[in-house]
A and B are shown apart, each in its own frame.
Chain A
Amino acid sequence: MLVVAFVSFSLFTFVGDPVNNMVGEETSDLERAEIRETLGLNDPIPVQFTRFVRNASKGNFGISYQLRRPVSELISERLPATLELVFISSLIALVCGTLLGVYTGINRKSFVSDIILAVSLLGVSLPTFVIGILFIYLFAVILGILPSFGRGEVVNIGFWTTGLLTISGLKAIILPSVTLSLFQMTYIIRLVRAEMMEILQTDYIKFARARGISEKSIQYKHALKNGLIPVITIAGINIGTLVAFSIITETVFQWPGMGFLFIQAVKFVDIPIMSAYLVFIAFIFVMINFIVDILYYFIDPRIRVKSESANG
C-alpha cells in the first residue's frame, strides 16, 4: 500500500506544476508564490509525503484541479455507482461462467460445448466498448426497452446511494453490468473448463472410478471441488480488472461512477483525482487479496492442517 501511496505522491509532486494547473493564466507570479506557500509546496519532500499520507488516511486528497471540489467528496459520490456495477457484474460472471465452464469441461465433445466455446472466444475478441455500443443500439435504439445512459432513480441510504431499489434503477443497471461481465465470464469459462479437464485425468478420479463411484458423483463431487480452488484466486484478481474495465463501461453508458471520473481526470491531467483513484484501487485490491487468502485457508485442507513428516 505504501508503495502505491508513494507512486501517487510522486505523481502529485513531480508531474506538472500543481499550481499552474490550478489557477488560470492571468494570475500574477506573486499570487502563485503565495498559493505555493499555503499549499506547503516549498517544504522538503519527506515532509510533504508524510503530510500526503496523513491526509490520505483521513480521506483528504486535496482539491480537484478541474472541478474545484474536494476529491474525497467527488469519490464518495461516485463510489456507490461503481461498486454496485462491479458487484452485479461479478455475480453474473462468476455464476454463469462457472456453470458453463463445468458443463464444457465435462462434456468435452458435445456440439453445445463447441458453440459455447466459440461464443466465449468471441466475447474475448469483442472489446468492451463495442459490446456496449452494440447493446445500446440493440436494446435502446431499436427495441427501446432499456435506457441507454444514466443510472435511473436512486435511493439514498445513509451516505450510500443505491439504484437497486427502484425499477428504473434496475433497468438501468442491466445493460452495463452484462456488458462488463462478458469479458470476465469468458475468462472464467475457459479457466474452469481447463481445470475440469485436467482434473478428470488425475489418478484419484481414476481410482474413484475403479471403486465404482458413479460418473455423476465423480464430476460434481470430486472434480468440481478441486476445480474451484484456482477459480477463487482468479475471481479475486478479476474483481480488480472489473473495476478497471468499468472505466470503459461507464464511459459508454455514461454511468456516473469513479471510472468516468478517472477518464476525465486523465484527459485534463487532473492529478489529485488520478492519485486518489490509484490509492483507492490499491486499497480495494489489497482487501480482495486478503479475502481470497482467507477463503483459501478454509477451502484447502492442505493449508489448514499441518502434514505429517514422519515415515510410518
Chain B
Amino acid sequence: MDNQNLSFIDKIIDSDIYFAFIKSPTAIISTVILIIIFFCSFFVELVTPFNPFDPSSLDLMEAFTPPSWSEDGMSKFLLGTDGQGRDMLSTILYGSRISLIVGFAAILFSLILGVSLGLTAGYFGGKYEMVVMRITDVQLTVPSILMALLVDGIARGVISKELHDEMAIYVLIFAIGISEWPQFARVSRAATLVEKNKDYISASTIIGVPNIKIMFKHILPNILRPILVIGTIGLALAIIAESTLSFLGVGVPPTTPSLGTLIRIGNDFLFSGEWWITFFPAIFLVILAFSINLLGDWMRDTLNPKLN
C-alpha cells in the first residue's frame, strides 16, 4: 500500500523479475559463473602468483608440462604450461581479460551508436529514418565477421605496421563495434515506433515537452528491455568475434594474446600431443560465451511479455 515505506531492496525482491530469477537455476548458475570469471580476469594479478609476460620468470625447462593431474604434471601449474614455460591458468586469465575488455568496449560502442541512431530514426521518421534504415539494411546483409575483417584490412593498409600493432586493440574494438551497431539500431527503432504510437507520448507533445526530452525521459527508459537482451547476446557475439579474428591472425597482436590467439598458438601443438595448450583456453572461452548466452536467453524469455 504505502510503497514509499518499502525499501529499494524490498521492491526488487517483490518484483516479478527477481522471482523469475530465483526460480531459474540457469540464470543463477550463469550469473555466478560470470561473476567468478569477471573477478578473476580483472584482478588476475591478485589471483595468480605467476606473470606469464615477465620473461624473467619463465623457465624453459618447465615448458610443455601437462596439467597437474596427469603423470608428469606439477602441482604449481594447475593446467600445465605452454611452449615457453608459461603457466596456462594465468595466461588464460590474462587473455580472458583482453577478450572481455575488447568485447565490452565494442558492444558499448555499438550500443551507443546504434541506439542513438535507431531512436532518433524511429522518432523523427521521414527521410532521415529512411536513410538510416537503408544503411542498416545494407550493412545487415554483410555478416559481422566480414565487416570486421574489412575494417581491419583497411586499417592495416592505411596505418603503418608499428602503429597498427599499438592501436590494434582500438582498431579491433572499432571494427567489431561497427559490425554490430545495426542490430541495436533496428531494435531501438522498432521499439521506438511502438512507444511513439502510445498516447502518453502524444500527451507530452501536446503539453509542449521538447522532442529531446521526450526521447530521453519517456522513450528511452521504455525501450531498454529489448536493448538489454540484444546487448547481452551481442556481448557474447563480440567476444566470439574477437577470438575468431585473433585466431585468424588479424586480431590482437601476439604480444597481448587474447583467448583466440592462445587457441591458435595451441592449435599447432595439437597434433604433437600437447592437447592442453589449446584445449583449456577453448573450454574457457566456451564457458564464458555459454554463460553469457544463457543469461541473455533467460532475459529474453522473462522480459518478453508475449510469450507468457
Do A and B have CB atoms closer than 8 angstroms in the complex? Answer: yes
Which residues on A are within 8 Å of B, measured CB to CB?
A: 3, 11, 15-16, 121-122, 124-130, 133-134, 137, 141, 194, 197-198, 201, 237, 240-241, 243-245, 247-248, 251, 262-263, 265-267, 269, 271, 274, 278, 281, 285, 289
A133: B residues at CB distance < 8 A: 263, 267, 270, 278, 282
CA distance A137 to B76 in the complex (A): 28
A197: B residues at CB distance < 8 A: 307
Q: Per DSSP, are chain B's interface residues mostly helix, strand or loop, or mixed?
A: helix
B286: A residues at CB distance < 8 A: 122, 125-126, 130
Q: Does B198 contact A (CB under 8 A)?
A: no
Q: Does B142 contact A (CB under 8 A)?
A: yes
B240: A residues at CB distance < 8 A: 125, 127
CA distance A127 to B244 in the complex (A): 7
Which residues on B are within 8 Å of A, measured CB to CB?
A: 138, 140-146, 149-150, 152-154, 156-158, 236, 240, 243-244, 247-250, 260, 263, 267, 270-271, 275, 278, 282, 285-286, 289-290, 292-294, 297, 306-307
B114 to chain A, nearest CB (A): 18
Instruction: Tell me if B249 and A15 are in contact (CB < 8 A).
Output: no
B27 to chain A, nearest CB (A): 13
Instruction: Tell me if A121 and B290 are in contact (CB < 8 A).
Output: yes
B154: A residues at CB distance < 8 A: 11, 15
B150: A residues at CB distance < 8 A: 274, 278
Given A3-B138, A237-B140, A240-B141, the answer on whether A125 and B307 have CB atoms closer than 8 Å is no
Given A121-B293, A127-B243, the answer on whether A244 and B143 have CB atoms closer than 8 Å is yes
CA distance A252 to B196 in the complex (A): 48
A289: B residues at CB distance < 8 A: 141
Q: Which residue of A lies closest to B247 (CB)?
A: A129
Q: Which residue of B lies closest to A194 (CB)?
A: B307
Given contacts A244-B143, A248-B244, 20 further A-B contacts (CB under 8 A): A3-B138, A15-B158, A121-B294, A121-B297, A124-B289, A124-B293, A127-B247, A127-B285, A129-B263, A137-B275, A141-B270, A141-B271, A240-B143, A243-B143, A244-B144, A247-B149, A248-B247, A266-B156, A266-B250, A289-B141
CA distance A244 to B270 in the complex (A): 26
Instruction: Tell me if B152 and A266 are in contact (CB < 8 A).
Output: yes
Interface centre among B138, B146, B286 (most CB of A within 10 A): B146
